Structure 1
Amino acid sequence: MIALSTVQSSNAASSKELPSGLVGVFVGATSGIGKATLLQLAKYARQPRFYFVGRSQSAADEILPQLNQINADGKYVFIKADPSLLSVVDEVCQSIQQNETKIDILFQSQGTLDISTETSEHLPLIMALSYYSRMRFIANLLPLLQKSPFGRAMIVMAGTKEGPINANDIAGKRILPWKARGHLCSMITLTLEHFAKLAPGVSFVHNYPGFVATPLAKSMKGVTGGIMRSVFYFTGLFSTKNYISLEETGERHCFLATSSRFESKERYGGSSGREVAVGSDGVVGSGVYIVDEVCESGGKDVQKLLNGVRQEGTHEKIWEHLQSEFLRVTGKSTIQ
């Protein structure tokens, strides 16, 4: 466990170590973990330029004054958009490309627990937000991340909770509900590993935030949603000590976004003298990190599971599936 005091000390130091003019893109930052991280990072950054993407203008109107109060030297731009649509993701990325020559941090926490809705692009909403749109943002913005001396892409989902993948159902349309999280998390981590091969100068973090009180449960619909909300309520009622505050989760995600512990493979280069985390493949400093709610790397069990999936060649099938969906929906692999 990395103590909160250690996290806070690292974050405070980052305000001096990171260059001014930090450019960050936050998707899903109008509430919950994304908002908490955006506000905390604004506190530590010097003259930052932050873009945050979401659907709620009213939520953004509440956040903008807070950002300016926290750090009046920063520039904050809200982009009103629905990130569940890949075509919209492309438009957002194009607008950012027109204004920036690099991106230092790409932070994505968009998501839903709505398992019944399908988008107009014929993707399940839960998968569109949790996987496809996140990977599309990375694919589109990877060139700008590569131009940063410490580019980092972060995914908030359930790193360290990876599970078996059904190679015959990559899209997860027939996956049993209790196996869906592990399937999705392995897809995310293995896709990040592919991006890391394309861009070894960029680091990638897939984390599990733990139990954090966010509006996510409200997105569950129907009878199933009602049952799950009841479970969440009673779990919270009797286990509130297990919940992580928004302030703490904001601090921890700032740490994941800025600490040299999670350096890219190229930047680390096997050098000694610095404490660098173990990557998703079990190798120190390999550039893709899966971490839990206390910022510790995934253990040997999950490393073994992922290695088995790689040996079966399933990681290649995941990439092929992602590319086919990109082409089906948008007609091109990226906006480049």
Structure 2
Amino acid sequence: MASLAALRASNAQLTSATLPKIAVFVGGTSGIGRATLTQFVNQGYPLKAYIVGRNEEEFRPVLRELHASNKTAELIFLEGQISLMAETKRLTDEILRREEHIDLLYLSAGFLPFLGRQETSEGLGLATAVGYYSRQIFIQRLLPLLRAAFNPDTDQYSPRIVNVLGTGVETTDLYLDDLELKQPGHFSVQSYAHHSATMTSVSLKRLAEQPENSGITFIHHHPGLVSTEIFKKSWGDQWSEDKVAGGPNAPSDITRSSPEEAGARSMYVMTGSQYGGNGIALTEGQKKGLTVNDTTKGSLFCVGDKLETLQLDGLLGKLERNGASAIIWNKTNELIGYYL
């Protein structure tokens, strides 16, 4: 695991050439996303960032702080409810209308469904709508803009998708006939975490391996346990301090950090060259990370909480061989196809 000092040293080498010029942050208004957005803007270089969130008025003081830290930054807030697929389509329509290319799509919105399975007005599970389905719409609809940003003849920043969720807990033990976890006894925080992580890695791997996306780096990143407001937000009006002890089980050696530290790791993941693409050069002793297929490019990078790359070819390969990957992909596009 790279030390925080080493990550910050790497991030300190960032230049205009190794930063995305146009970035989209879905979930940049709080927690890890906000910390990453702040560090991104505070680099001081000319850039444009789209920030997708629910309440522009509430976020306006932060926007003023960000503008004050970097007067060359163009910050565009897009207000909408990404729990609704129709709203997600509207938000992506706006980006597609405004831009011919983007360099980075950073997705970190989500919450833990402690209150049980809730449904949106569109009939999707609320937690899965936010943490998986809306992200798929952002990714699939904005892929043409990311492809347009790729230039094989330059060593400047190359386009990336960084999906911050829960890689490392993927499983072959899935309810393939009930991926929405609607049936009695199927839904829990743990089953949601396993299903959403697996569905994310399966779908990102498929997209990463499509030839037309070969110039885009796809990353699924587990941030570890970060001291954000996610527990309070997830419990809603049922929150109390004693709820902290009732969180999901986590390995004793999992990385625990502040939002600022998690933001520094995210900056490294999205700008370094360790996980594919052009970026900050590796230091002495560092090695290129490997995709889930044990290659240095051409597939998905799953980056764990210690910034190690996870070789999930056995697990994901089994899902492909037994037809589970195809079921996940087909069900995903059946549910969101109207909005693509």
Whole-angstrom distance in 2 between the partners of 1:86 and 1:234: 28
Structure 2 match to 1:6: 6
Tell whether the 8 Å contact from 2:209 to 2:299 is kept in structure 1 after alignment: no
**1:163-178 maps to which residues of 2 (within 5 A)?**
163-164=171-172, 165-174=174-183, 175-177=186-188, 178=190
Measured after TM superposition, the shift of residue 101 of structure 1 is 1.2
In structure 2, stretches of 5+ residues that fail to align are 151-157
TM-score (norm: length of structure 1): 0.86
Could you say if the C-alpha distance between residues 82 and 296 of structure 1 is closer, same or farther in structure 2, counting changes exceeding 3 Å? same
The one-letter code sitting in structure 1 at the alignment partner of 2:296 is V
Whole-angstrom distance in 2 between the partners of 1:228 and 1:304: 39
Measured after TM superposition, the shift of residue 16 of structure 1 is 4.5
**1:243-262 maps to which residues of 2 (within 5 A)?**
243-262=256-275
One of 156, 159, 168 as aligned partner of 1:151: 159
- Summarize deviations over 1:169-222 as a string: whole Å, max 9, x none: 222334352333122211100100111133121111111111111121123348
Structure 2 match to 1:297: 309
**1:53-132 maps to which residues of 2 (within 5 A)?**
53-114=52-113, 115-132=116-133
| Greater share of helix | 1
In structure 1, stretches of 5+ residues that fail to align are none
Q: Alignment partner of 1:98: what SS? A: helix
Whole-angstrom distance in 1 between the partners of 2:74 and 2:61: 16
Could you say if the C-alpha distance between residues 179 and 303 of structure 1 is closer, same or farther in structure 2, counting changes exceeding 3 Å? farther
Tell whether the 8 Å contact from 1:11 to 1:44 is kept in structure 2 after alignment: no
Q: Tell me the C-alpha RMSD between the 2 structures.
A: 2.9
Structure 2 match to 1:315: 325
Could you say if the C-alpha distance between residues 260 and 318 of structure 1 is closer, same or farther in structure 2, counting changes exceeding 3 Å? same
With 10-19 and 208-217 compared, the bigger mean Cα shift is at 10-19
Structure 2 match to 1:133: 134
- Summarize deviations over 1:101-131 as a string: whole Å, max 9, x none: 1111101111122333211111010010011
One of 192, 197, 207 as aligned partner of 1:180: 192
Could you say if the C-alpha distance between residues 94 and 43 of structure 1 is closer, same or farther in structure 2, counting changes exceeding 3 Å? same
Q: Alignment partner of 2:295: what SS? A: coil
The one-letter code sitting in structure 1 at the alignment partner of 2:134 is S
Could you say if the C-alpha distance between residues 169 and 235 of structure 1 is closer, same or farther in structure 2, counting changes exceeding 3 Å? closer
Q: Alignment partner of 2:260: what SS? A: helix
Tell whether the 8 Å contact from 1:28 to 1:53 is kept in structure 2 after alignment: yes
With 49-58 and 167-176 compared, the bigger mean Cα shift is at 167-176
Whole-angstrom distance in 2 between the partners of 1:194 and 1:246: 30
Indicate the percent of aligned positions where both proteins have the same amino acid. Answer: 27
Could you say if the C-alpha distance between residues 196 and 242 of structure 1 is closer, same or farther in structure 2, counting changes exceeding 3 Å? closer
Whole-angstrom distance in 2 between the partners of 1:203 and 1:60: 30
Q: Report how many residues are paired.
A: 318
Could you say if the C-alpha distance between residues 275 and 168 of structure 1 is closer, same or farther in structure 2, counting changes exceeding 3 Å? same
Tell whether the 8 Å contact from 1:158 to 1:208 is kept in structure 2 after alignment: yes
Tell whether the 8 Å contact from 1:39 to 1:67 is kept in structure 2 after alignment: yes
Measured after TM superposition, the shift of residue 229 of structure 1 is 2.1
